[in-house]
Amino acid sequence: MGRGRLILIEGLDRTGKTTQTSILTDRLKPNAQLIKFPDRSTTIGKLINQYLTDKNFNLPNQSVHLLFSANRWEVAENIKETLLNGTNVILDRYVYSGIAYSAAKDVDGMDLQWCLNPDKGLLKPDLTLFLTNESNDDAERDGFGEERYENVQFQKKVKKQFYAAFTEFETPNSNTLKLVDVTNKSIEEVSEEIWKLVQPILSNKEENQEFSFF
Ligand code: NYM
């Protein structure tokens, strides 16, 4: 039996990541576990939650960045063990969100490489799917604007940084990154598209047993 596959779904706020990661996990059950970042249930996650939801709770940008990274390290071993047991792990956000949201703040010194550094050594996904929405519908969805970072201006900067991070840290032509355009598509259409992209990754389990790392 091969190891499980690590599949990441990334995207801006309200592009449907949470819906799609749970559809994909259900489809693969019982052979899949869903992990969402930030995991707001841990001690570090609770601080992150407070930072995101309480605009009067301020922390230095560098500290916040390190908290998000620390939150990933809290479950890193669990992810590896699950994969070694043959179970697939589906991630709702991960390292690229960490880099893109922090780099979008335009803080001196917090460039892409600085942002990646604390995540160095984390497992790299076998497949990263980036959901993009070319209309501004995402801004109109329920709840948009309630949390820190949820404004159209900032989201534009984040999108740019996502692409910059992919260019910098994904191996070109390696087939480990796919863009999924969700513009004007139904949940079912997007989930079918995702399913088609995921299947080849799951069917070659006997190959590529080695883990890759950031
Ligand atoms: N976010 C998420 C970061 O700024 N850095 C990170 O490393 C991660 C994983 O948290 N606006 C931001 C992106 C989102 C916010 O995520 C909460 P979600 O998926 O809305 O719960």
Three-state SS string across 72-130, please? Answer: HHHHHHHHHHHHHCCCEEEEECCHHHHHHHHHCCCCCCCCHHHHHHHHCCCECCCEEEE
| Strand (E) or helix (H) holding 7 | strand 6-11
d(CA 165, CA 99): 7
CA distance 14 to 104: 17
Q: Is residue 212 part of a domain?
A: no
Decide if 161 is inside a domain: yes
> How much distance in Å is there from the Cα of 98 to the middle of ligand 1?
7
Given ligand 1 and candidates 9, 13, 63, 93, which is best to mutate, with the most ligand atoms within 8 Å of its CB? 93
CA 149 to ligand 1 center in whole angstroms:
9
Q: Would you write out the chain's pLDDT as a tens digit for each of its 214 residues? A: 789 999 999 999 989 999 999 999 999 999 999 999 999 999 999 999 999 999 999 999 999 999 999 999 999 999 999 999 999 999 999 999 999 999 999 999 999 999 999 999 999 999 999 999 998 655 665 667 789 999 999 999 999 999 999 999 998 888 899 999 999 999 999 999 999 999 999 987 666 689 999 9
Query: What CATH number is attached to the domain comprising 118?
Result: 3.40.50.300
pTM of the model: 0.95
Structural domain contains residue 1 = no
Does ligand 1 lie within 6 Å of residue 97's CB atom?
Answer: yes
Rounded Cα distance, 108 and 78, in Å = 34
pLDDT of the residue at 138: 53
Rounded to two decimals, the ipTM of the complex is 0.99
Q: Tell me how many domains the chain contains.
A: 1
Pocket test for ligand 1, best of 12, 17, 40, 97 (most atoms within 8 A of CB): 97
Bond from prior residue into 118 cis (ω within 30 degrees of 0): no
Structural domain harbouring 134: 6-203
Is 208 domain-assigned?
no
Instruction: Report CA(69)–ligand 1 centroid distance (Å).
Output: 11
